[in-house]
Structure 1
Amino acid sequence: MQSIVRSTFGSGTGPDHLLVNAMLLNIALIIFGWRRYRDLTKEIAERRKAEETARKLAETDPLTECLNRRSMERTTNELRRVSNDYGQAVAFVMIDLDNFKQVNDMNGHGIGDRVLTSLAEQLRQCLPGGTPLARLGGDEFAFAISYDPSNPARVDDIVSKLFESVCGGIDLDGTTIHCTMSIGIASDHSSQSRNDAITDGEKLMHRADIAMYQAKKSGKNRHFWFQSTVENELRFRNELEAGIRRGVRNGEFVPYYEQQIDLDSGELVGFEMLARWNTPDMGVVNPEIFIPIAEEIGVIGELSEQLMVQAFDDAKEWDPKLTLSVNISPVQMRDRWFSQRLLKLLFEHNFPAQRLEIEITETCLHENIGLVRSMISSLRNQGVKVSLDDFGTGYASLSQLRTLPFDRIKIDRSFVRELNYRDSSKIVDAIVSLGNGLEMPITAEGIENEAILETLRRMGQLKGQGYLYGHPEPAVRVIERLRGQGRLSKAGENRNDSGAVTDELADQRRA
C-alpha cells in the first residue's frame, strides 16, 4: 500500500503487481464469503420457517387450526402421563354435529366450512385455557381434559356449557344455522381406580367414539358416558355381521315352513316360508335377530333369493294345490329390477307363478309408491299373488288399499292375540269388514288357541296360521307331514327311500 501511495505522488517505483493481485483476490474472497454467509443465513431462516409450516400442517387442521387426529392422540397420551402422575383422571370428549350433511346440502360446502370454523371458536371459548382441541375429520371434534376422579361432574358441567353455547344456533352474516350435537365421553379411570384397560390415547378415543354412537342412537342432542356393556353389544353386532356374510356364502340360511289353514274346513291350503339361520356355533337363530342386520349391511337380497330357490325346490314335491308365501323386505322393494329378478327365478326353477304369494309390509308403500305399484302390477300380470302383510301396524291408507292391486290382507298377530280378551275384537272386526268391502281375502296370523279360532270363524271365511296348528318346520318335516296326508306330488312320492332326503341333508335341516 505504501508503494502504491508513493507511486501515486510520483516519489517512488510502482507496486509489485503480484502482491496487488493477491490483495485484490483476498478482498474479492472476503466480499464473496460475506455475501454467501448472508445468503446461507437467509436460506436457513426460510428452511426453518418451512419446517415449522410443515409441522403445523402435519399437526393441525388447516380449516379450524385445531389439532388433527394424529397429534391429538399424542397430546392425549402426554396429558395422561402427566395427569396420572398427580392422581388425576383424563376424560376424552368426542363431539359430532347431528345431520351436518343437511347443512352442506342446503347451504353449500362454503357455509358448512364457516359453520365448522365458528363451532371451533365457540368450543375454545367454553373450554378451560390450554385444553387441547382437535378436529378429527368431517364434523367431528374432540378435546381431552384432566379432572379429579372423585368429581366427574366437572366434565358434565363443561359439556353442558357446550350445549348451551351451540343450542342458540350459529350466526353467519345474519343467517342462523341451527345445529345439535351428540357427545361421547370416555375416562381412563373407573369410579374406584385407574382403568388398566386403557393403555393409550387411541383406546380412549375409540371408547369415546362408542359413547358418541350411543348418544346418537339414544336420540341425538345429548351426551353419553362410555359403558362397557355398549362396547360388548357393538362387538357382538360386528360378530353377527361377519357371521351373516359368512352364512350367505356358506348357505347356512334355510327355509322353515308354517302351515296356512282354511279356518272353515280346517284344510291345509299352503305354507309360509320363514327364514332360519343354522349357525355352527349358535344353533338355529330366529329372523328377528338377523333380518334387520342383513338389511342394513346390504345382503338381504342375496339371502332372500337363496331361500326362495330352496323353497321352490321344496314346494315342487308338495301337492300342486298348496301355495307358497314368501316375505319380501322393504329394502328389496326399493330395487326397480326386483320383479324381473323374481320372475327370472321362477322361470329358471320351473315353479308355477300361480302357486307363489309374496307378502310386503305397509312400510314399502311410503318410500316409493309409484315404483311399488309398478312392481306389483308386473308380478300379478304373470300370475304371482301379492298380499299386504302385518296390516294395521303401519300407515296404509284406504285410498292405497283401493288403488293398489293387492290380492290379500294379513291381520297382524298383535291384533289376533287380543281376541283372548272380552270385547277386544273390534279392530279385527273392522279389518275383516274392510276386506269384505274391498273384496280382498283375509289371513289371520297368530292363532294360538281354540278360543281365538272360534272367534275368527264367526267373522267370516278366513285363512289362518299360528302355533295352534304347529310351529314352523324344516322341509323334511313338511315332507313327512304331507306324506301322511297323501298330499305329495309325483316328484315327492318318487324320492329315494320313500321320500327320505339324504342323511346328511336331513341332519342339517333337522338341526
Structure 2
Amino acid sequence: MKIALVAQPDNAGDDFDGDRQIDIIALGIVTAAILLFIATGSEVGPDVVKSLLGHGPGPDNFILNAFLLNVAIIIFGWSRYRQLCEEIQLRKKAERQARRLAETDPLTGFLNRRSFNDAVDTMVRQAALTGDRAVTLIMIDLDNFKQVNDFNGHNTGDRLLQECAKRITGCLPSQALVSRIGGDEFAVAVEFDRNRADRIDGIAASLVEAIAQSATINAISIEVTASIGLARSDSLARGGTLPDARTLLEMADIAMYHSKRQGRNSYFWFEAPMADEMRFRNELEYGIRKGVARGEFVPFYEQQIDLQTGELTGFEMLARWDSPQFGIVSPDIFIPIAEEIGVIAELSESVIAQALEDAKAWDQKLTLAVNISPIQLRDPWFAQKLLKILLEANFPPHRLEIEITESCLHQNLAQVRSLITSLKNQGITISLDDFGTGYSSLAQLRSLPFDRIKIDRSFVSSIAENKDSAAIVHAIAMLGKGMDLPITAEGIETGDVLEHLLKYDKIKGQGYLYGRPRPAAELAEWLGTIGIVANGDVAQEVFSIAQQVPRTSVG
C-alpha cells in the first residue's frame, strides 16, 4: 500500500550515537587485545619454535601466560562484540516496529489520526510556499458498514475494510497521504495545482465508483458504498493564516455528512452553508435525545377504510415529534436521525405503548397498524419486546397490525422470517409495506407468511394521470387476489383515485381524502362525535360521512 510516514522522533539521532559509541568501545577492546597478541606473540613465537626444534629451553612462563590470556581476550571480546551488534540490531528493529505501530493503523497499514494530522500540516505549509498549489482533504465514510459487522461478523468487516483500503490506494497518486481515522472512516490528503481542481473531482469520482463495486468476502457477496466530503486549504486560509489538519478534517466531515443526507454514494465539496446545516442537525439530534426521555414523541392516527363499504376498519399510527422548539415535526425529518443516533427503538416502543393505550378505548372492531423501523428488525429480541408491551397494555394481539417495509427483506431474510413467524403465532397481523418500491421477489413474498400487502403511495396518488402507475397498481392488486392477500392502498387524495381503486375487491385505503392524521385527543373527540366508541356501531356512520367527502384534492 502507498502510505507516507512522518519523520522519526527527535531522539532517534541520540539513540544512534549511543549505539555507535557502544560499537566503538567494544571494537576498541578487541583491537587492543589483538595488538597485545601480536606483541606477545612476537616474543613467544621464536622461543616456541626453538623449543620444538630442540635448540632452546622454551618461552618464559610469564610471557607465555600473557600470550594465552591475550588469545582468550580476543576470543571473548570478539564474541561479546558480535553479541552487542546483534542486541543493537534487535533493539533497533523493536524501536522501528514500535514507531510503526504508533504511527499507523495495524489493519490497513495507513497512517493513524495523529501522524496523519502532523503530515497534513507539513504538506499544507509546503504547498503554500509554492503559491500555486494547495491541499485537498478527502473524508471517506463507508455507508451501512455497521450492518456488515452485525450480519456477517467482525472478521468479514475487517476484511472488507482491507479491500476498501486497496481500492482507495489504487485511486490515489503516489504522494498522497492516507489515513484510517475511525472504524469505517478514511481520510486522504492530496496536493494539487490550484488551477486544476478538476483533477480532484476525478479522484473523488473514481473513489465513489471503486468502493461501490461488489466485494466477495468469505464467499459472501457484499455491497458497500461511500459518502465523501472534500475541503481545500486555499479556500479556508484567512488573513495569511493557513488551516490546520483538524480544521480541514472538520470541514470535510461536514461535507461528507451532507453527502449522506443527499442519498449517499456520492461526493460534495465543503460550502459555508453546510456548517449551518450541520449546526441545525446537531440541534435536532440533541432535541431528539431529550425528547425521547421527556415523552415528546406522540402518536397521530390516519383512518383506514374499506373502499367497497366505506366502513372504518382501523387506524395507522404515525409518530410525530411535538417539540417545544420546532413545533410538530414530521417523521420524515426525525426518524432517519433517530435511526442514525441509535434511539429509534426506544422512541418507537414509547409511541407504540401510547398508541395501544389509546386504541383500547376504540370499538373492538377497529385495528391499530404500526410501522417498524428496519433497525428494530435487526434486534433478535424485538418480538419479545413487542409482546411485553402488548401484555403490559392488556391489548388483544389480533387487533394489532405490524407493517414491515419491503426493503427490509434484503437485509436479513432469515431473521425477518423468524420475527414474522413469532409475531403471527401470537395472533398479530403482518403487512408488507411500501410494496413495489423494494424489488422483492415473488419467491420471498410466497415464502414469508404476510397477511396483507400495502401499495406505496407514490403509485396510488398518480394512478389517475399516470398509465405506468395505474399498471403497477393493477398488477399488485391482481397479485394479491391470486395469492389471496388483501390489499391496502396508501395515498388516496382525490375522488378520481378512489374511483380507480373501487374496481378491485378486498381492498382498503387510506389518505387525505378521508382526513389528515389526528392526535389522540382530537381523534377521541371525533370518534365520540360520530358515535364510534368502544363496542359502538361503526359502518353506517362512517359510510355516510365518506359519501359526503368532495372528490377533489385536499392538498
2:502 to 441, 451, 457: 457
Kindly tell me: are residues 203 and 348 of structure 1, through their superposed partners in 2, closer, same or farther at Cα, counting changes over 3 Å?
A: same
Output the CA distance in 2 between the equivalents of 1:378 and 1:118: 42
Give the secondary-structure state (helix, strand or coil) at the position aligned to 1:479.
helix
Shift of 1:460: 2.3
Number of the residue aligned with 1:32: none
Shift of 1:210: 4.0
Shift of 1:74: 4.8
The 8 Å contact of residues 77 and 201 in structure 1, kept in 2 or not, is answered as yes
Kindly tell me: are residues 85 and 122 of structure 1, through their superposed partners in 2, closer, same or farther at Cα, counting changes over 3 Å?
A: closer
Number of the residue aligned with 1:468: 513
Output the CA distance in 2 between the equivalents of 1:340 and 1:489: 28
Number of the residue aligned with 1:442: 487
Kindly tell me: are residues 293 and 396 of structure 1, through their superposed partners in 2, closer, same or farther at Cα, counting changes over 3 Å?
A: same
Output the CA distance in 2 between the equivalents of 1:163 and 1:405: 38
Kindly tell me: are residues 80 and 472 of structure 1, through their superposed partners in 2, closer, same or farther at Cα, counting changes over 3 Å?
A: same
Kindly tell me: are residues 135 and 338 of structure 1, through their superposed partners in 2, closer, same or farther at Cα, counting changes over 3 Å?
A: closer
Question: Which residue identity is paired with 1:331?
Answer: I
Output the CA distance in 2 between the equivalents of 1:113 and 1:233: 33
Shift of 1:313: 1.1
Kindly tell me: are residues 480 and 197 of structure 1, through their superposed partners in 2, closer, same or farther at Cα, counting changes over 3 Å?
A: farther
1:352 to 396, 403, 407: 396
Number of the residue aligned with 2:174: 126
Per-residue CA shift, 1:292-342, capped at 9, x if unaligned? Answer: 222233222211111111111111222222111111122222222222222
Give the secondary-structure state (helix, strand or coil) at the position aligned to 1:425.
helix
Output the CA distance in 2 between the equivalents of 1:113 and 1:364: 27
The 8 Å contact of residues 257 and 472 in structure 1, kept in 2 or not, is answered as yes
Per-residue CA shift, 1:13-59, capped at 9, x if unaligned? Answer: xxxxxxxxxxxxxxxxxxxxxxxxxxxxx9xxx9xx99x98996798
1:279 to 323, 345, 349: 323
Number of the residue aligned with 2:349: 305
Question: Which residue identity is paired with 1:340?
Answer: Q
2:524 to 457, 474, 479: 479
Per-residue CA shift, 1:414-456, capped at 9, x if unaligned? Answer: 2212322275633322222222222222221111111222222
Unpaired runs of 5+ in structure 2? 1-83, 213-223, 537-555
Shift of 1:134: 6.2
Shift of 1:212: 5.5
Q: Are 1:386 and 2:434 matched, yes or no?
A: no
Shift of 1:412: 1.6
Number of the residue aligned with 1:500: none
Q: Are 1:400 and 2:444 matched, yes or no?
A: yes
Question: Which residue identity is paired with 1:266?
Answer: G
Number of the residue aligned with 1:261: 305
Output the CA distance in 1 between the equivalents of 2:255 and 2:390: 47
Shift of 1:404: 2.6
Output the CA distance in 1 between the equivalents of 2:401 and 2:119: 61
Output the CA distance in 1 between the equivalents of 2:170 and 2:441: 49
Shift of 1:461: 3.8
**Higher mean Cα deviation, 447-456 or 213-222?**
213-222
Output the CA distance in 2 between the equivalents of 1:255 and 1:476: 10
Number of the residue aligned with 1:208: 252
2:462 to 415, 418, 423: 418
Shift of 1:475: 0.6
Number of the residue aligned with 2:369: 325
Unpaired runs of 5+ in structure 1? 1-41, 168-178, 492-511
Output the CA distance in 2 between the equivalents of 1:212 and 1:142: 13
Kindly tell me: are residues 243 and 182 of structure 1, through their superposed partners in 2, closer, same or farther at Cα, counting changes over 3 Å?
A: closer
Output the CA distance in 1 between the equivalents of 2:378 and 2:209: 41
Q: TM-score, normalised by structure 1?
A: 0.68
The 8 Å contact of residues 208 and 267 in structure 2, kept in 1 or not, is answered as no
1:341 to 375, 385, 396: 385
Kindly tell me: are residues 333 and 161 of structure 1, through their superposed partners in 2, closer, same or farther at Cα, counting changes over 3 Å?
A: closer
Shift of 1:207: 2.0
Question: Which residue identity is paired with 2:402?
Answer: I
Per-residue CA shift, 1:94-147, capped at 9, x if unaligned? Answer: 475979999x957987x9989979998997x733xxx8x464647845446485
Output the CA distance in 2 between the equivalents of 1:304 and 1:83: 51
Shift of 1:469: 0.6
Kindly tell me: are residues 92 and 473 of structure 1, through their superposed partners in 2, closer, same or farther at Cα, counting changes over 3 Å?
A: same
The 8 Å contact of residues 139 and 249 in structure 2, kept in 1 or not, is answered as no
Output the CA distance in 1 between the equivalents of 2:227 and 2:346: 35
2:476 to 426, 431, 442: 431
The 8 Å contact of residues 353 and 382 in structure 1, kept in 2 or not, is answered as yes
Using the aligned pairs only, state the percent identity: 49
Output the CA distance in 1 between the equivalents of 2:493 and 2:340: 32
Output the CA distance in 1 between the equivalents of 2:445 and 2:171: 52
The 8 Å contact of residues 184 and 209 in structure 1, kept in 2 or not, is answered as yes
Output the CA distance in 2 between the equivalents of 1:289 and 1:180: 23
Count of matched residue positions in the alignment of Structure 1 and Structure 2? 426
Output the CA distance in 2 between the equivalents of 1:483 and 1:118: 63
Output the CA distance in 1 between the equivalents of 2:105 and 2:414: 47
The 8 Å contact of residues 104 and 115 in structure 2, kept in 1 or not, is answered as no
Output the CA distance in 2 between the equivalents of 1:456 and 1:121: 54
Kindly tell me: are residues 105 and 258 of structure 1, through their superposed partners in 2, closer, same or farther at Cα, counting changes over 3 Å?
A: same
Give the secondary-structure state (helix, strand or coil) at the position aligned to 1:376.
helix
Shift of 1:279: 1.0
The 8 Å contact of residues 444 and 464 in structure 1, kept in 2 or not, is answered as yes
Output the CA distance in 2 between the equivalents of 1:180 and 1:308: 33
